[in-house]
Amino acid sequence: MLNIEAQPTPRAFITSSYECRTVSITNENQLVVYAPSKNIANDVVNTLCKNDVVAKQFGKVAAYWGYKTTDTVDFLGKGIADLILAKENLISVFMAESTYNYQAVVGYPTYTAFFISAKEKPKLTKSYFLDKRIGLLDYPTSRSGYILPKQLFKDLDINVGNLAVTYASSHKELRELLSAGRVDIIASYWQESDQQQFSKNYITAISDNISGSRWYLKMQDENTDLLCAVQGELKALAKKQKSLYFNEVEAYWQCGSMKVTSSASPLVTEPLNKTAKSSNNE
């Protein structure tokens, strides 16, 4: 696994971090975790610090987080994170499976992209969008906040340059723009907590069956003890989440036997045997 002192330090480009020590006080090896959420990153790190298998291999576990896709890209492109929460399409774009042998450990469910309004149900017509103030995400790898709505505009023969578009840095900021009345509609996903601010009657699906993010573990070695320990902790942690979306995860590895097998789609190093199972494309 990664020895952070021998790799580019994430502190060079991101300052949001937290770390904890395992019981292996003299062990200088560090397990690096990255997630696009402070709460998720910290929860995972604190859980892993208490794990016996992790303690046998690492002296501390460090969490890093960032709210922009560019932060995730930095970690993927440099192969810094041992464990990272990322979208499958980003893993594919940066060939992280073949370059760093990142293996999917657990994944969140598929979801639907929506146009969300505060006052009416959005219509998927050219005339509807032309006089609307629209909120999109400011990074081109987001499916629900950028790729899918722009594809719809193209299908409707709408020049995005003719639309009143405001770009936000996160899905949270998009919701703030809509709530404040600075935009008429936003492109995002729907979560149960949105009902506190908006009406479910005022959402219109853009596309469904979008594959969710996955936790990937760097498997440069056949470290199946660590893989199974991480998968077990992530599954247990998911059950404690209040969000109906984040408390459901699919485990991609069958642990608990002499031979650990994968049911996910990424490249598997021998002697890990992959069983046939299709997965959704990003």
pLDDT at 82: 94
Residue 157 has pLDDT above 90, yes or no: yes
Q: Measured in Å, how far apart are the chain's first and last C-alpha atoms?
A: 27
Q: Which residue in 108, 69, 57 sits closest to 218, CA to CA?
A: 57
Spatial separation of the C-alpha atoms in residues 225 and 56, rounded to whole Å: 10
Report for 199-203, 207-211, 218-222, 265-269: range of highest mean pLDDT: 199-203
pLDDT at 278: 27
**Minimum mean pLDDT range among 109-113, 176-180, 196-200, 264-268:** 264-268
Per-residue pLDDT band at 164 (split at 50, 70, 90): very high
pLDDT at 151: 94
pLDDT at 280: 28
Per-residue pLDDT band at 131 (split at 50, 70, 90): very high
pLDDT at 14: 56
**Minimum mean pLDDT range among 13-22, 38-47, 144-153, 217-226:** 13-22
Residue 177 contacts residue 135 (beta carbons within 8 Å):
yes
pLDDT at 78: 83
Handedness of CA 141, 143, 149, 151 (dihedral sign): positive
